[in-house]
Amino acid sequence: MDADVTFETLAAGGWRQKSLQGFAGLIGPLWARRETDGWAYGLLAGAGHLNPAGVVHGGLLTALLDHALSAIAWEALGRRACVTVQLDTHFLRAARAGQFLEVRGRVVQAASSLVFMHGELSVAGEAVVTGVAVLKTIASPGEQAS
């Protein structure tokens, strides 16, 4: 682990640990931080996140990017649930255990039931993965589907 990245330093930097159900709860713990222009999401990579080559598994990077973009879209759409229809990822460099992975994203365009997103997963300001996504709003329990 990087000597300066601990749960305590993350909390001191405004990051808050999220307790999530389902799959997102399995890959974490996940962190979130409100920023001037939106939300950022993060994960402190550990040994359990590595592939056999000793770097953070691409599936974990993709899952974190997908979760963060979905959460950003959810907030931008007035907390309407959405699912990923398409996610294109571009892996630029490896991430390692002990590094704090940060995701920031933005809505490129929102239509009646689709939202187009762009995101970047970085470590210490260096891009590791970039991605674009299309998400579709879905009905919450008790709502009619759109």
Tens digits of residue pLDDT in 50-81: 999 999 999 999 999 999 999 999 988 888 88
Contact 43, 27 (CB under 8 A): yes
Give Cβ neighbours of residue 8 (< 8 Å, ≥ 6 apart): none
Q: Is the pLDDT of residue 2 over 70?
A: no
Q: How far apart are CA 118 and CA 17, in angstroms?
A: 24
Q: Is the pLDDT of residue 145 over 90?
A: no
Bridge partners for 91 per DSSP: 129
Please tell me the predicted confidence (pLDDT) of residue 77: 86
Would the pTM count as exceeding 0.85? yes
pLDDT tens figures, 11-55: 999 999 998 888 888 888 899 999 998 899 999 999 999 999 999
Percent over 90 (pLDDT), the chain: 71
Residue 12's CB: how many other CB atoms inside 10 A?
A: 9
- Radius of gyration from C-alpha coordinates of the chain: 15
Kind of pairing between the strands at 82-91 and 126-137: antiparallel
